[in-house]
Amino acid sequence: MTPTRCPSCDHELDASTSMTEREVDPLPGDLTVCLYCGAALTFTTDGLRLLEPQEIATLKPAEREQLDRVRQAVLDRIAMEVRT
C-alpha cells in the first residue's frame, strides 16, 4: 500500500494501521482507524478519507462494534500518553 496521510491529523499511515489483520492491500471501502488520533477512516482508490457520521450509522452492527472498539483502544492509548 502506498503510504498515505490521515485526513484528520496528517500523520503518515501505512497498511499496518489496517483494522483487519490481513497482510493484503486494503480495498476501497475498507474501514480503518487512525492510530494517532482515533479518526474513523475509509480507504478510497487513492488514499483515505474520513468516514461520514451517516456512514458509521449505517454500518453492520458487528462492523460498528469493531470500529468503536478500535477507536476506544486508540483514544485510551492517546489519553495514557498525554498523562505520562
Task: List contacts with Zn ion (CB under 5 A).
Answer: 6, 8-9, 34, 36-37, 39
Q: What is the 3-state secondary structure (H, E, C) of 35-84?
A: CCCCCEEEEECCEEEECCHHHHHCCCHHHHHHHHHHHHHHHHHHHHHHHC
Closer residue to Zn ion (CB): 3 or 61: 3
Rounded least distance, CB 72 to Zn ion, Å = 15
Closer residue to Zn ion (CB): 2 or 60: 2
Phi-psi region of 52 (alpha: psi -120 to 50; beta: other; left: phi over 0): beta
Closer residue to Zn ion (CB): 7 or 66: 7
Rounded least distance, CB 4 to Zn ion, Å = 11
